[in-house]
Chains A and B, each alone.
Chain A
Amino acid sequence: MKSIQVNNIGKSYHQIPALKDISFGVEKGELFGLIGPDGAGKTTLLRILTTLLIADKGTATIEGSDVVKDYKTIRRIVGYMPGRFSLYQDLSVEENLKFFAAIFGATIEENYHLIKNIYSQIEPFKTRKAGKLSGGMKQKLALSCVMIHKPAVLFLDEPTTGVDAVSRTEFWEMLRDLKNSGITILVSTPYMDEARLCDRVALMQNGKIMNIDKPQRIIENFSRRLCAIKTKNMYRLLKDLQGFQKTNTVYPFGEFLHYTAKENDIDMKEIIKYLEQKDHEGIEMREITANIEDCFMELMNKN
């Protein structure tokens, strides 16, 4: 039995489709990522799986329980951290944790070992109001709160949105720890770079899953040669490359442009020559391996 099983789920809001025929399964103890930009349908999917919304079509089970019929059972065994979950701002760190333990009929003491690694970092501030915590600390507390009743499956909706880079890294380390203790985790994120931290990911766009695989495999399956290009005038470089007839795709990526040509066996020198003709200075160009975002872009173009 899969921990999470989704079959042909579809959902529309006022005739506008938010999810189209979504199917996938998540193994027990797997850290599964839903990767996609805003509006891809991640939140809707998570809400259907946490029994908060009813799908128009399709079925889904969590630990063997149907999300519509057995919603009461599911609500006992899952932990859910919504995207705009802001805890109770006027309650202190400890009061928040106590409250969430209480409504699940648990106590902090009995499950302390589950959250020890996370909570110990914010425990020095346990009398501070949740509203006065930094973004990173808030997310740690929120994670502690949804973990305190020892859920079998954990749903996290964009837990790292609005959190600084250091806290994001820490947060993912915590998720790995939780996964290692046998909890199934379904996490959504708009940050492509976080995909490599998942066991498997589903790349979502416009309510559809474009690809499901291990992050490494997705990268390996990237079919084209990819170049990173940089010159002194990046804006003109982008325009010029977009106007170049042999260009397949070109995207800004950090301080470089990521470039693929229409033919994979194109000679690099040809591109450099073209750029020199256009009076570009300080041309830097090298071949690189793709990352998830490149794969995402490629999949998007295919669809």
Chain B
Amino acid sequence: MTRFKGFIIKEFYHIFRDYRSMVILFGMPVIQILLFGFAINMDIKDARIAVLDNSKDVVTQKIIQKIVSSGYFKLTENLSGTKDIEQSFKNGKLKEVIIFEPDFTKKLYKDGQANIQIIADAADPNMANLLVNYSNAIITDFQKELMKSQNIPFQIIPEVQMRYNPDMKSVFMFIPGTMTIILMLISAMMTSISIAREKEMGTMEVLLVSPLKPVQIIIGKVVPYVFLAFINAVVILLMGTFVFGLAIKGNVVLLLAESMLFVIMALSLGIFISTAANSQLTAMMVSLVGLMLPTILLSGFIFPIENMPLVLQWISNAIPAKWFIIAVKGIMLKGTGISFIWKETVILAGMTLFFLAMSIKKFKIRLE
């Protein structure tokens, strides 16, 4: 036991004395969360719009007011004619133009129908889609109120509900995603680098020619990172809660337990990488290219898995992050318990065992 303790103390010295490790360990999570949270924000807020109001009457004014007061849009221009539309789009940061036809109110009450045209800048198609949907929703809402006050019978109004994330805030998307990436990075990359460093510096030879067992060396390498990754998971959740207003619906203990399972999985993957990589550089490249890219691209963090080609969907099943993200989203957003995410948990546990067994089997008790 003293052997093992000595080993772990040494590992902590390595981590705390290397400023680069410290930056990766504690700087990166904070920076990534803030980056994803503020910079890569998919939420709509103050999108610039212009209005071409050809009737300028009570109803159009009401609709414009309702749109502007929603907080999603910001009225920057009042256009005077159709010819201005093109120019305004080209000039500025205008995202959308709303056009009311002449005699809007009159037509609405007389014919029961009036037209609004929405023109969006689809240079950014996702954004355009969102904006149009938001505008539509607001207008439909207005129409409903109108119908209610007019007491028109027999109406069928579809009511759309965005469950679990009613405001469709992207914070709920990126917190699980970022957590996955960071835990993966810290666990897999840092352990593989730290084992590769021993090989590079020639200290692994001395460790091998000692009574330490391979299991002891591996676990000794892993324990400090389990501890540090846990702290990171907590920091990310705290930032999500207090900076971005994420409310965790489910059981926090279960959430942390799943995180720990994922961390241990990533650690065993890191060890597995280091059994093959002999230098710190190789270890880092393999972790970054071989783990980070699939984790970001194929886990469903950014791109929905359902929209991928079938082959990629199959491949995504082998990405541990996919299962972790499903579990975490379930707990965080839906408040599901273990009975609903047992499948993901079992898959992660199975992957952990697989990588651990492979690592211990592949760990060389000699130099070749």
Q: Give chain A residues whose Cβ lies under 8 Å from the Cβ of B209.
A: 50-52, 75, 78, 80
Chain B contact residues: over half helix, strand or loop, or mixed? helix
Let me know if B208 and A102 touch, CB within 8 A.
no
Stretch touching chain A among B5-13, B103-111, B251-259: B5-13
With known contacts A99-B10, A103-B7, A75–B203 Cβ distance under 8 A:
no
**Cβ < 8 Å to B, chain A residues 42-96:** 47, 50-54, 71-72, 75-76, 78, 80-91, 95
Contacting pair A87 B203 (CB below 8 A): yes
Residues of B near A103 (CB, < 8 A) are 3, 6-7, 207, 210-212
A86 touching B6, Cβ below 8 Å: no
**Which residue of chain B lies nearest to A54 when distances are taken between CB atoms in the complex?**
B366
Say whether B14 faces chain A, with CB atoms less than 8 Å apart: yes
Query: In the bound complex, do residue A75 and residue B211 qualify as a contact, i.e. CB atoms below 8 Å apart?
Result: yes
A104, B17: Cβ atoms under 8 Å?
no
Within 8 A of B (CB), among A270-301: none
Expressed in whole angstroms, the Cα–Cα distance for A72 and B209 within the complex equals 9
Q: Residue A146 at the B interface, CB < 8 A? A: yes
Residues of B contacting A54 in the complex (Cβ-Cβ under 8 angstroms): 366, 368
0/1 string, A30-49, CB within 8 A of B gives 1: 00000000000000000100
Q: Cβ of B366 and Cβ of A88 under 8 Å apart? A: no
Q: Does B167 touch A at the CB level, under 8 Å?
A: no
Contact residue among B203, B205, B212 (Cβ-Cβ distance under 8 Å from A52): B205
A102 near B7 with CB under 8 A, answer yes
Q: Is A162 an interface residue (CB 8 A)?
A: no
Chain A: interface residue total (CB-CB under 8 A) = 33
Instruction: Check A76 against B202 for contact (C-beta < 8 Å).
Output: no
B205 touches A102 (CB 8 A): no
Q: Does A243 contact B (CB under 8 A)?
A: no
B58 CB within 8 Å of chain A: no
- Tell whether, in the assembled complex, residue A80 and residue B205 are in contact, meaning their CB atoms are under 8 Å apart: yes
Nearest residue, chain B, Cβ from A151: B209
A94 CB, nearest partner CB in chain B, Å: 12
Interface 1/0 per residue, B10-51 and A, CB below 8 Å: 100110011000000000000000000000000000000000
List B contacts of A146 (CB < 8 A).
206
For chains A and B in complex, what number of residue pairs have CB atoms within 8 angstroms? 84
Contacts of A50 in B (CB 8 A): 209
Give the docked Cα–Cα distance between A51 and B206 (Å): 11
> With an 8 A cutoff between CB atoms, is A98 at the interface?
yes
Complex Cα distance, B202 from A178, in Å, reads 24
Q: Does A90 contact B367, Cβ atoms closer than 8 Å?
A: no
Find residues 163-207 in chain B having any chain A CB closer than 8 Å to their own CB: 201-203, 205-207
A89 contacts across to B, CB distance below 8 A: 201
Q: Is B302's CB within 8 Å of the partner chain A?
A: no
- Contacts A82-B202, A104-B211 given; indicate if A51 touches B366 (C-beta within 8 A): yes
In the complex, residue of chain B having the shortest beta-carbon distance to the beta carbon of A85: B202
Inside 8 A of B211's CB, which chain A residues have their CB?
72, 75-76, 103-105
Partner of A102, one of B2, B202, B365, B367: B2
Cross-chain contact of B203 among A53, A83, A88 (Cβ < 8 A): A88
Whether B2 contacts A105 by the Cβ 8 Å rule is yes
For residue B9, which residues in chain A have a CB less than 8 angstroms away from its CB? 99, 102
Q: Which residues does chain A contribute within 8 Å of B201, judged by CB atoms? A: 84, 86, 88-89
CB-based contact B210/A85 at 8 Å: no
Given A71-B365, A75-B210, A75-B211, are A82 and B205 also a contact pair (CB < 8 Å)?
yes
Shortest distance between the CB of A111 and any CB in chain B (Å): 14
List A contacts of B17 (CB < 8 A): 90
Are the CB atoms of A86 and B202 closer together than 8 Å?
yes
Which residues of the partner chain B approach A47 to less than 8 Å between Cβ atoms?
A: 205, 367
Q: How far is the CB of A147 from chain B (nearest CB, A)?
A: 13
* Residue contact A84 to B13, C-beta cutoff 8 Å: no
Give the residues in chain B near A104, CB-CB below 8 Å.
Answer: 3, 210-211
List 11 extra interface pairs beyond A88-B13, A90-B14, CB under 8 A: A52-B205, A52-B209, A53-B367, A72-B211, A75-B208, A75-B209, A91-B10, A99-B9, A102-B2, A103-B3, A104-B3
> Which residues of B are interface residues toward A (Cβ below 8 A)?
2-3, 5-7, 9-10, 13-14, 17-18, 201-203, 205-212, 365-368
Q: What are 12 A-to-B residue pairs whose CB atoms are below 8 Å?
A: A54-B368, A80-B205, A81-B206, A85-B203, A86-B201, A88-B203, A95-B13, A102-B3, A102-B7, A102-B9, A103-B207, A103-B211
Which positions in A face B, CB cutoff 8 Å?
Answer: 47, 50-54, 71-72, 75-76, 78, 80-91, 95, 98-105, 146
Closest CB pairs A-B (n = 3): A102-B6, A84-B202, A80-B209
